Amino acid sequence: MQNLVVLGSTGSIGQNTLDIIRNSSGFRVIGLSCNRNVELLKRQIDEFRPLYVCVGEGVDLDGLKLLYPDIRFLRGKEGLVELAGLNEADVVVNALVGVSGLLPSYSALKARKKLALANKESLVVAGRVLSRLAFENGMEIVPIDSEHSAIYQCLEGRDKKSVSKIILTASGGPFWDREGFDGIKPEDALSHPNWDMGKKITIDSATMMNKGFEIIEARWLFDVSADRIDVVVHRQSIIHSAVEFIDGSIIAQIADHDMRIPIAYALTKPKRLNLPFRMDLGSVGSLTFEKPDFERFKTLNFAYEALKDEDKNLGMVLNAADEVAVDEFLRGNIAFKDIFEILEVSLYKFRDRLPEDIFEIDRESERLKQEVLRLIRSDFGGSK
């Protein structure tokens, strides 16, 4: 029996993780965290009876303590860090959104926990630090993202020297075939054709910044240079990603687009759970592949640019600018097309940030978000 901590248990990935646990044996949930969705958290507490729970600032902690006197409650960033490093924990699922997941990822690896990672921002802003820590501690970061899980499965048991390149597939989001980005409202951008995800990652899919982040993530997860990471648009989201080997062979992973499949594999690898998802390949029809449009979706170029000079940690800049820009778009303060310009301006305006210490990266990320917000207020206000 392995003890499991789920960070971000009320989000999409967190709920799917608990659904896997609900229908399988071998895991005991000892820790949960949520930001503000207390009603769902209560239902999860009632079902899984964790020993530890962390909540966001502003949640009525006294009321929860009265309801659940046997649980140790934690709060905020410090609580997440403590939860991720619990002595009793064996596996930590980091399903947090944004840079809030950075220090918990570090804490889990520092404490030598298996880290099942859905929080791509951890590797985008501090991939060098986290990958080095995992190596030094003899630990492995197991990806939950469907694309990186696919690559992980294609590489497992194979000599990395035989790898020619990694091929990330992208759905293209809801605007792949759209002529321009004028007049796009948040509800339009939140209508993803294939996946049911949280708001932030859905907007990132619409701009393809999500795929840009996955390029950076792949560089650190699999220790490959940026020039060996390709992106292809595969609208059907059936092939989740692939690996090309030096003999010209391409090995791909195919599955239904349900996040419980990569989550389950991250938890139980190399064993596989008997899940109810089956694909009738005869009924799938045609599978299509297209080259990305780097002119319209400049976010892909931004990712490759960020990896050109890894010493500058431009992934941290991109992530901070994106978090702020997406939030401003969802609030109706900027236009969808402004997101691209804000990212580009930020990438060059703030490119001389060089923190290496994990805690300084965390602090600098927060400072950068404030600077990007001031930039938006001064240069992009009313442009929607």
Distances (CA, A) of 143 to 33, 90, 114, 123, 259: 20, 16, 11, 11, 12
C-alpha 231/C-alpha 213 separation (Å) is 12
Max intra-chain CA distance, the chain: 63
> pLDDT at residue 180 above 90?
no
Supply 220's token pair: 């650190």
> pLDDT at residue 380 above 80?
no
Express each pLDDT in 81-123 by its tens digit. Answer: 999 999 999 999 999 988 999 999 999 999 999 999 999 999 9
Give phi and psi for 172, each to the nearest 5.
90, -10
Q: Which of 223, 79, 73 is nearest to 151 (CA)?
A: 223
Q: What is the CATH number of domain 2-143?
A: 3.40.50.720
C-alpha 347/C-alpha 334 separation (Å) is 18
Express each pLDDT in 41-63 by its tens digit. Answer: 999 999 999 999 999 998 989 99
Q: Which long-range contacts (CB under 8 A, 24 or more apart) does 70-79 make?
A: 71/45, 74/33, 77/103, 79/33, 79/54, 79/55
| Alpha-carbon torsion, ordered 312, 314, 315, 316, to 10 deg | 90
Give CATH 3.40.50.720 domain extents, the chain: 2-143
Rounded to two decimals, the pTM is 0.92
3-state DSSP call for residue 94?
Answer: strand
Q: Are 198 and 12 in contact (CB under 8 A)?
A: yes
